[in-house]
Amino acid sequence: MEHTLGLLQLGQRVLLPGTSATSRDLTAETHMLSQPELHTKVRVRNLDFFYGERQALFHVTLTIRANTVTAFIGPSGCGKSTLLRCLNRLNDLVDGATVKGRIELDGTDINGAGVDVNSLRKRVGMVFQKSNPFPKSIFENVAYGPRLHGFRNKRTLDELVQASLEGAGLWDEVKDRLTHSALGLSGGQQQRLCIARALAVQPDVILMDEPCSALDPIATAKIEELVFALKDKYTVVMVTHNMQQAARVSDQCGFFLMGELIEFGDTKSIFTTPQDKRTEDYITGRFG
Amino acid sequence: MRAYWRSGELFVWTTAFGVAVGLLMIAGLLALIMIHGLGQFWPQTIEQVELDNGQVVIGQTVGRETIPRSVSQDQPKGLSRTRFRVGNRDVFGSDFRWVDEADIHARTTPKDVVIVERREWGPAYGRIHTIYDADQIYVEGQETRSALNSILVRGRELRKSIDHIERNEIGDINHQIEALRLKERSLALDGGPGSASTVPDPALQRRLAELEEEYRKRAARLEELYRQAAQYQVGLTISDDREIRIPLAQVIGISRPNDMGWGQKAFAYVGNLWGFLSGEPRESNTEGGIFPAIFGTVLLVFLMTIVVMPFGVMAAVYLREYAAQGMLVRIVRIAVNNLAGVPSIVFGVFGLGCFIYAAGGTIDRLFFPGALPNPTFGTGGILWASLTLALLTVPVVIVATEEGLSAVPREFREGSIGLGATRFETIWHVILPCALPGILTGLILAMARAAGEVAPLMLTGVVKLVPALPLDSAFPFLHLDRKFMHLGFHIYDVGFQSPNVEAAKPMVYMTTLTLIVVVVSLNLIAVVIRNRLRKRFATSAV
């Protein structure tokens, strides 16, 4: 049963945005059916977060729509990464971390009782600041997640790996050396491999924690294009230090300062008519 | 001056000096061991020395020294004396003899002098003139040399047959008889007191009688072989012109170092070295080979590794990955580290008390009641010794594994967890493979420590001489209850417990060298494996 389900999902996901007429039709159809523009994917309500005694987030409230790119900006240590890591409960790994408030994914409280944290992380994938491919082959890196979640069939895995690598725009570059070590790839390729790895478990939401901070401008541009394409099927939430990047790729934008969400709204309006003085100072480069 | 100090040049020299001293010490130690150890296999020239009083000494020079208190005004350099290995311990009472240089009248190296390696009494030096067949003269004079070869071959064949019958055939029969006896006793014990030996099992009795008949046949054959082996005797004229007769069965080899070229000597050298490494000890370990000790050492380390690795790694994974990092874990960690510093003899005592008396005694009572009061597992053996060593080395493995685990980048954990992997899956698929080089470092350190330990083994099952190796062709092949020999203990035994310490000295050096080689090669194997893995799991620079 699970296999069939997986394949069905795969059937949808395999299709890259804008690769063929049929895929576009299918995507359009899905969009029409689910009214994605109106659909709320993640809702954060009054979130307080503590590292032991120290409070890192204060009363954060925001709503992220499905199939959009949301960017969190702000100076270092302002809590934007912490919020990101709350969304897939990666902060559970930190000793002494406590969460107050509510985070909903498709209407369900992710911190609620009865939520399987591993299934949650399967639905909310993550790409890290430092590209972190495992010291395995390229194929094994992408197949790692699906294997954990029960994919054993060689052919299904092969297809899934190819689809994921295509989804991350890496397939053409690595198709001849899938068995080579992932550590032999360039920095940008490694980061796209990490994206492919996240796509392979078929998530709904992809979190990206400063995905381009260690990359050169060309690799950065490729990732940005990719992020832009990904929002057709996924909801992307990214943290970035780069204001231009936020302006280029995001639909919504949140500005954080000292653990508080100062302003949240459409990227265009934030960058053109910020409501708060502090936001304006930050995006015009007067501090931070 | 201050500028010189600040330039740090002095510091560079001081640190380099430290390294140099260390290297010098290691190189010196190795050189000493190798010179004394490897030299003994070279066929050394035999000298014949005539003394002023008419005595003749035949032997090999072992050393020379200045006679103490011989230095005077007319003898500014003093008098010196030479030490000869003269052999023939059965006749002379000692293997060595000091000869004052002043007494020496003439030194020659006659080509017809031989060394006879014997099974007992060490080597014999002299000339072979006659070969006897029982009491008759078989050959004499010039023909002895050619006749000797064929007789030696015959002798070796006889020896082989004798060994085979004694070891394998009679050994097997004894084994079966012992098994039957135990079965009979167990049956008697099960039947309760009283019913014990009243009704012996007829089938068992029949089988026992058969085996005893077999045994008698073998024994008769053995007697015949021994008679044949004793038939021929080598007549050896020793330095004082007496003739001693050496039965063929006693002869291991006859060599004429004075009549050998370089090629022959090199050939003999390799043969001797191989004989040492592959042979069994003779003459309370002062002669012959050390194979059982090499085998015991390697098997011991191997068994220890099998036991210590899973436990050490599991403990480290719990401490590093699962346990909450608090006060308790810190205390446990300190305790583990200190455990590595406990003197090894303490572990030996613990092994004796906990493993041998408590665990072994219980096993004997439960599974081998028929053999009591003779202990089966309730006495020292290779199993208990390897468990004791595992206990001794487990801190090393834990510490190294923990270090390996903590060196795995946090990004790998988060990457795996972020994909929906559970903690266990992350540890199993990502962290442990990445920590493998660190774990193998622990293994290397543990092996190095274990292979060099002697003290705990002396309490848990090492012995001077074993009749059978712990691994052989008799079911169940690996006999964990057997005692074993060990190179480290062999050094102690041969060097300090042997009746003939002086003659055994080269053996001590050679055994030491072998132990070092064994430890180094075990480590090298592990290092090669680790480096391969390291290449595979190298973390990226990006």
Q: Inspect the interface and report whether the beta carbons of A126 and B411 lie closer than 8 Å.
A: no
Same domain for B401 and B505, yes or no, is yes
Q: Does A134 touch chain B (CB under 8 A)?
A: yes
Q: Is residue B87 part of a domain?
A: yes
Q: Does A43 touch chain B (CB under 8 A)?
A: no
Q: Inspect the interface and report whether the beta carbons of A135 and B536 lie closer than 8 Å.
A: yes
Q: Is residue B280 part of a domain?
A: no
Tell whether the torsion through CA atoms of B463, B466, B470 and B475 is positive or negative.
negative
Residues 59-118 of A with CB under 8 A from B: 88, 90, 93, 95, 118
Whose CA is closest to B314, among B394, B387, B407, B390?
Answer: B394
Same domain for B225 and B266, yes or no, is no
Domain containing residue B102: 38-113+256-271
How many Cβ atoms are within 10 Å of B399's Cβ, its own excluded?
21
Q: Inspect the interface and report whether the beta carbons of B420 and A121 lie closer than 8 Å.
A: yes
Which H helix or E strand runs over B246?
A: strand B243-247
ipTM at complex level: 0.80
Of B415, B420, B542, the CB nearest to A134: B415
Same domain for B95 and B170, yes or no, is no
Burial profile A99-114: b = 16 or more Cβ within 10 angstroms, e = fewer: bebebbbeeeebbeee
Same domain for B423 and B530, yes or no, is yes
Same domain for B516 and B413, yes or no, is yes
| Token pair recorded at residue B465 | 């001489």
Same domain for B76 and B203, yes or no, is no
Same domain for B177 and B214, yes or no, is yes
Whose CA is closest to B90, among B124, B114, B60?
Answer: B124
d(CA B181, CA A239): 81
CATH code, B460: 1.10.3720.10
Q: Inspect the interface and report whether the beta carbons of A149 and B411 lie closer than 8 Å.
A: no
Same domain for B388 and B529, yes or no, is yes
Same domain for B95 and B109, yes or no, is yes
Q: Inspect the interface and report whether the beta carbons of A90 and B422 lie closer than 8 Å.
A: no
The structural domain count of chain B equals: 3
Q: Is residue B281 part of a domain?
A: no
d(CA B331, CA A91): 27
Q: Is residue B15 part of a domain?
A: no
Which H helix or E strand runs over B519?
A: helix B501-536
Closest-CA residue of B relative to A201 is B419
Q: Is residue B184 part of a domain?
A: yes
Q: Inspect the interface and report whether the beta carbons of A134 and B430 lie closer than 8 Å.
A: yes
State residue A263 phi and psi, 5-degree precision. Answer: -150, 140
Q: What domains, with CATH codes, occur in chain A?
A: 2-283 (3.40.50.300)
Q: Is B251 left (phi over 0), alpha (psi -120 to 50) or beta?
A: beta
Q: Inspect the interface and report whether the beta carbons of A118 and B421 lie closer than 8 Å.
A: yes
Same domain for B308 and B415, yes or no, is yes
**Chain B environment of A194 (Cβ under 8 Å):** 415
Give the angle subtended at the CA of B164 by the CAs of B158 and B170, to the nearest 5°: 125
pTM (2 decimals)?
A: 0.79
The radius of gyration computed from the CA coordinates of chain A, to the nearest angstrom, equals: 19
| Token pair recorded at residue B500 | 């003939």
Q: Inspect the interface and report whether the beta carbons of A198 and B419 lie closer than 8 Å.
A: yes
- One-letter amino acid at B482 equals R
Q: Inspect the interface and report whether the beta carbons of B542 and A214 lie closer than 8 Å.
A: yes
Whose CA is closest to A123, among A205, A2, A36?
Answer: A205
How many Cβ atoms are within 10 Å of B333's Cβ, its own excluded?
17
**Chain B environment of A90 (Cβ under 8 Å):** 414, 417-418
Q: How many angstroms separate the CA of residue A49 from the nearest CA in chain B?
A: 19
Q: What is the full per-residue pLDDT of chain B (542 aa) written as tens digits? A: 888 888 888 899 999 999 999 999 999 999 999 988 888 888 888 888 888 888 888 888 888 888 877 777 777 777 888 888 888 888 888 888 888 888 888 888 888 888 888 888 888 888 888 888 877 888 777 777 788 888 888 888 888 888 888 877 887 888 788 778 777 777 776 665 555 455 667 777 888 888 888 888 888 888 888 888 778 888 888 888 888 888 887 888 888 888 888 898 999 999 989 988 988 888 777 788 889 999 999 999 999 999 999 999 999 999 998 888 889 999 999 999 898 888 999 999 999 999 988 888 888 888 877 767 777 787 888 999 999 999 999 999 999 999 999 988 888 888 898 888 888 999 998 899 888 888 888 988 898 888 888 999 999 988 888 877 877 766 677 788 888 899 999 999 888 887 777 778 888 999 999 999 998 998 888 888 888 877 776 543 33
3-state SS record for chain A: CHHHHHHHHHHHHCCCCCCCHHHHHHHHHHHHHHCHHHCEEEEEEEEEEEECCEEEEEEEEEEEECCCEEEEECCCCCCHHHHHHHHCCHHHHCCCEEEEEEEEECCEECCCCCCCHHHHHHHEEEECCCCCCCCCEHHHHHHHHHHHCCCCCHHHHHHHHHHHHHHCCCHHHHCCCCCCEHHHCCHHHHHHHHHHHHHHCCCCEEEEECCCCCCCHHHHHHHHHHHHHHCCCCEEEEECCCHHHHHHHCCEEEEEECCEEEEEEEHHHHHHCCCCHHHHHHHCCCCC
CATH code, B57: 2.30.30
**Chain A environment of B433 (Cβ under 8 Å):** 135
User: From edge to edge, which strands make up the β-sheet containing A108-109?
Assistant: A108-109, A97-105, A40-51, A54-65, A260-266, A252-257, A69-73, A235-239, A205-209, A124-127
Of B414, B434, B537, the CB nearest to A128: B414
Which residues from B are below 8 Å from A when comparing CB atoms? 324-325, 409, 411-422, 425, 429-430, 433-434, 536-540, 542
Same domain for B260 and B295, yes or no, is no
Last residue of a domain, one of B243, B271, B299: B271
Q: Is residue B195 part of a domain?
A: yes
Q: Is residue B382 part of a domain?
A: yes
Q: How many angstroms separate the CA of residue A267 from the nearest CA in chain B?
A: 28
Query: Do A137 and A180 touch, CB atoms closer than 8 A?
Result: yes
Q: Inspect the interface and report whether the beta carbons of B411 and A132 lie closer than 8 Å.
A: yes
**Chain A environment of B417 (Cβ under 8 Å):** 90, 93, 121
From the candidates A134, A141, A216, which should be mutated to test the interface with B, based on the most B CB atoms within 10 A?
Answer: A134
Q: Does A213 touch chain B (CB under 8 A)?
A: no
Q: Is residue B531 part of a domain?
A: yes
Whose CA is closest to A210, among A201, A197, A229, A223?
Answer: A223
Which H helix or E strand runs over B48?
A: strand B47-51
Same domain for B441 and B313, yes or no, is yes
d(CA B462, CA B455): 10
Q: Inspect the interface and report whether the beta carbons of A135 and B434 lie closer than 8 Å.
A: yes
